Structure 1
Amino acid sequence: MSIFTKRLIYFVAPNIEQFAEIGRQLHFFGFEYKAFNRNSALLAAMHSEKPCAMVIDETGMSDISTLECLPLLKKLYAGPLFLANFGLGVDAQLAFLRAGITDFIAQPLNLQAFIDRIDLIDEQDNPSPFKVLLVDDSDTAAKWTASVLSGAGMVVKHIDNPLTVMPYLANFKPDILLLDVYMPECTGDEIAKVIRQTPQFDSIPIVFLSTETHRGRQLMARSMGGDDFLVKNMEPDELIAAVTITAERYRRIRRWMTRDSLTGLLNHTHVIEALSREVTRAHKESRPLSYAMVDIDFFKRINDQYGHSVGDRVIKSLSRLLKQSMPNPDAVGRYGGEEFALIWSDHTLIRAAQRTDELRVLFQDLAQSNADGHFNASFSAGVAQLKDGMTAQQLIDAADQALYQAKAAGRNQIGLSSNR
């Protein structure tokens, strides 16, 4: 568990008033901030509450320079230390790096770039544990494998019947499948071939586990859809390393396949797949489900007036706000261009509309930066609720029609599907 308070940022500078607006904007993305202009106050705060990141002005504080305060500060704090500066030479950068600065960020502070850096650091320092689905009819062998991998911080689910693997793949969503080769119900290579016939699972890594040491038989099994072949009862460190390498590679590939490159949200194809799964679940379990289509108002005008780079930052600011505000970050995707999709599981139409409107208010208050200062953007949205017999595409069409009504009524508002 991290020793840092996840969403708190410290700003350190002679003039702390310069960070007031930055702090207000950070609040929209779920961050809190504190600013310090005296060394004693900063050190006292460090003893009671450590931040997830710290930004230090290149000149330091009113009573001490940055290079003077860093030695003691580094003894109290092991997190990322950003130096806010107006451009430093190589010699100066090396001096700050040697004193403990971990990263540099330009003044005036670009909020979006700064949050991107924090997100990247947090993702690298706090990766979610790998999820391993283990299919093995031998309880003894499975317990040993699960114990080794769980001890390395992985989440392991064991099933002993390969014929039940498909629903576990869908619900557990593993990063890797460890599959025994010889089982009474069917062989591992047979079930691997079945799994590879399902597009949803055709890229998940399948690693065979067996006592088989004949290289030719191992290669034959891999030709049926496996990615690797591990001999049972191998050294624990080797097992952990093999699973980690394969799972990490899969995560990188899957992120590239499923995520929009600009926003990091689910891309068009995969947000529709996510909605389809939720529609199936809602029908099966008789649970409410609503869907919202969000569209940035006058986005072409923003691009024309401020340039496409500013337009991209507007898209990224909305995507981050949506991702951090939704109950499930995978319930939001970039539908295309300036359009976003929100999946409100277990929400009625009215509740989903209320939640979407709360996001609308937050977004319109968010300052968007450009070369001449700041401006504000807004979005319109259409919300629809799933009805009996309705398909995912019909739900999308209903929300799209409600979005059209919101735009026709003047934009910067929420439209509700008339089919309610």
Structure 2
Amino acid sequence: MVSDTSTAPIYLLCRNGDYAATVSQQLAMFGLRAVAFPRASALLAAIHGEAPLAVLVDEAGCEDMMLTQVLPMIARLNSGPLVYLSLPMAAQEQIELARAGVTDFLPKPFDSHRLIDQIDRMLEAQSPQPARVLIVDDSETLTHWASNVLTMAGMRVRSVKNPLKVPQLVALEKPELILLDMYMPECTGDELAKVLRQNPAFDGIPIVFLSSETQRGRQLSARRMGGDDFLVKNNDPDELIDIVAMMVDRYRRLRELMTRDSLTRLLNHTHLIERLLQEVARAHETVRPLAFAMIDIDHFKSVNDRYGHAVGDRVIKSLARLLRQNFPGADLVGRYGGEEFSIIFPDASLLRAAQQVDDLRQRFSELCHISGNGEPLTISFSAGVAQLGNGMQTEQLIETADAALYQAKAAGRNQVGLAR
């Protein structure tokens, strides 16, 4: 996730005090501050004073205005989501509300998870990671033009003349799109695309051919070899930017579905281990430190048994959100399984990694979780941290961190164990 801007409040327009309190409690569980207003005039004044992350509007309305009046006013003042809380309604009603400025609809009973996911995505969109583009072309003129166009659009561009170096560069740079010349001395673009598509790790990366080729049959043939699109060289710069941006966005969405755990949006088990394997190999090659942490929520089975799996899921998501806040990009953090999480610490000593995990433990233990009947809960986690040793392989590192985790649990839980 991006840097934590969740100190900004979420405003709720609602005349029902009990319902407003319920919504506020659920948001507080995720570390979000909700401020409820029974009157629209007070809400509008608050927006003038402090911009909110989002504005929630209850279908029951407010005390001093009709919603048909206040919704357009909120929409004009507020740049974030304007979310309407309601029972199921007809499509025509939703269309009218959307015309009035509503951006999203949440069904009752209020589901904080859906709102949290939406806010996280909004924050990520406000501070997007630059698209990583690899240009493969033996023409310095074309490479210079395309590189300048995309760099000025905020993208991170790497270029290479020799196509035979591309597989190694793709593995190193992890581009999110490849702009590939069709005709080069060493090989053709479609031949290189076919080679790249043989590697499962590269299979989903969008490939856009750049060429002066205008014959439609030749273009289609190249796409059958593994290309995703075809652009004529020296085309409109805006078109190049738009196509690259759209294809990178689609690639990111598809990759998130493949690599992320659906509940937490952290790396799933398979891709967490894959990333750890990469970091272990890099650490051995560069002789740099690497630490690894295993985290387990304390007494989680009791939470599920006593309060239900819905509450358990909220606890898991609250920890996942803290992890995303503390580790931007979330590509070093994953859900190991169930209530277990893992963090990879490249270039970090054992003590430095343990300190970061302990700071996270303290923050999580201070969160107020709410059960289905409104009962407040405080929940903790235990963790184990290990350092990669000389000759140690990935499986050994995981086992060592896991042993440190059990050491922390045996010592009373809610603490961080260090591998011996």
Structure 1 residues 98, 134: CA separation in 2 closer, same or farther (over 3 Å shift)?
Answer: closer
Tell me the amino acid that sits aligned with residue 386 of structure 1.
L
Q: Pick one of 340, 358, 377 that aligns with 2:379.
A: 377
> If the length of structure 2 is used for normalisation, what is the TM-score?
0.83
**Structure 1 range deviating more: 9-18 or 367-376:** 9-18
- 1:307-352 alpha-carbon deviations (Å, 9 max, x no partner): 3333323222222221122254211111122211111223221221
Q: Determine whether 1:325 maps to 2:326.
A: yes
Deviation at residue 274 of structure 1 after TM alignment: 1.5
Structure 1 residues 85, 212: CA separation in 2 closer, same or farther (over 3 Å shift)?
Answer: closer
Residues 289 and 387 in structure 2, CA contact (< 8 A), matched pair in contact too: yes
Tell me the amino acid that sits aligned with residue 407 of structure 1.
K
Q: Determine whether 1:202 maps to 2:206.
A: no
- 1:225-267 alpha-carbon deviations (Å, 9 max, x no partner): 4334433234445544543454343223222221112221111
1:403: which partner in 2?
A: 405
**Structure 1 range deviating more: 128-137 or 82-91:** 82-91
Q: Determine whether 1:111 maps to 2:112.
A: yes
2:351: which partner in 1?
A: 350
2:394: which partner in 1?
A: 392
Deviation at residue 128 of structure 1 after TM alignment: 4.3
Residues 181 and 188 in structure 1, CA contact (< 8 A), matched pair in contact too: yes
Residues 28 and 362 in structure 1, CA contact (< 8 A), matched pair in contact too: no
State the SS of the aligned residue for 1:404: helix
CA RMSD of aligned residues (A): 3.5
For 1:408 and 1:295, locate their aligned partners in 2 and report how far apart those are by CA, in whole Å.
13
- 1:136-190 alpha-carbon deviations (Å, 9 max, x no partner): 1211112232344445554433233334434542343222111112223444344
Tell me the amino acid that sits aligned with residue 301 of structure 1.
S
> If the length of structure 1 is used for normalisation, what is the TM-score?
0.83
For 2:230 and 2:309, locate their aligned partners in 1 and report how far apart those are by CA, in whole Å.
48
For 1:385 and 1:404, locate their aligned partners in 2 and report how far apart those are by CA, in whole Å.
16
Structure 1 residues 343, 236: CA separation in 2 closer, same or farther (over 3 Å shift)?
Answer: same
Tell me the amino acid that sits aligned with residue 415 of structure 1.
G
State the SS of the aligned residue for 2:201: helix
Tell me the amino acid that sits aligned with residue 46 of structure 1.
I
For 1:151 and 1:177, locate their aligned partners in 2 and report how far apart those are by CA, in whole Å.
18
2:292: which partner in 1?
A: 291
For 1:92 and 1:191, locate their aligned partners in 2 and report how far apart those are by CA, in whole Å.
53
The answer for unaligned runs of 5 or more in structure 1 is: none
Higher RCO (Cα < 8 Å, 6 or more apart): 2
1:282: which partner in 2?
A: 283
2:146: which partner in 1?
A: 145
State the SS of the aligned residue for 1:73: helix
For 2:363 and 2:62, locate their aligned partners in 1 and report how far apart those are by CA, in whole Å.
33
Residues 408 and 416 in structure 2, CA contact (< 8 A), matched pair in contact too: yes
State the SS of the aligned residue for 2:331: helix
- 1:2-151 matches, within 5 Å, as 7-13=8-14, 26=27, 29=30, 31-36=32-37, 41-58=42-59, 64=65, 66-84=67-85, 97-105=98-106, 109-122=110-123, 128-150=129-151
For 2:92 and 2:213, locate their aligned partners in 1 and report how far apart those are by CA, in whole Å.
59
Structure 1 residues 107, 250: CA separation in 2 closer, same or farther (over 3 Å shift)?
Answer: closer
**Structure 1 range deviating more: 269-278 or 232-241:** 232-241
For 2:178 and 2:194, locate their aligned partners in 1 and report how far apart those are by CA, in whole Å.
13
1:316: which partner in 2?
A: 317
For 1:301 and 1:231, locate their aligned partners in 2 and report how far apart those are by CA, in whole Å.
62
Identity of aligned residues (%): 55
Deviation at residue 71 of structure 1 after TM alignment: 4.1
Structure 1 residues 216, 67: CA separation in 2 closer, same or farther (over 3 Å shift)?
Answer: closer
Deviation at residue 408 of structure 1 after TM alignment: 2.5
Residues 7 and 30 in structure 1, CA contact (< 8 A), matched pair in contact too: no
Tell me the amino acid that sits aligned with residue 284 of structure 2.
H
For 2:222 and 2:211, locate their aligned partners in 1 and report how far apart those are by CA, in whole Å.
11
Structure 1 residues 416, 20: CA separation in 2 closer, same or farther (over 3 Å shift)?
Answer: farther
For 2:248 and 2:94, locate their aligned partners in 1 and report how far apart those are by CA, in whole Å.
37
Deviation at residue 271 of structure 1 after TM alignment: 0.9
**Structure 1 range deviating more: 100-109 or 348-357:** 100-109
Structure 1 residues 402, 35: CA separation in 2 closer, same or farther (over 3 Å shift)?
Answer: same
Residues 291 and 395 in structure 1, CA contact (< 8 A), matched pair in contact too: yes
Residues 85 and 105 in structure 1, CA contact (< 8 A), matched pair in contact too: yes
For 2:289 and 2:26, locate their aligned partners in 1 and report how far apart those are by CA, in whole Å.
34
Structure 1 residues 197, 11: CA separation in 2 closer, same or farther (over 3 Å shift)?
Answer: same
State the SS of the aligned residue for 1:329: coil
**Number of residue-to-residue matches in the alignment:** 415
Residues 57 and 66 in structure 1, CA contact (< 8 A), matched pair in contact too: no
Structure 1 residues 324, 134: CA separation in 2 closer, same or farther (over 3 Å shift)?
Answer: same
Residues 382 and 403 in structure 1, CA contact (< 8 A), matched pair in contact too: yes
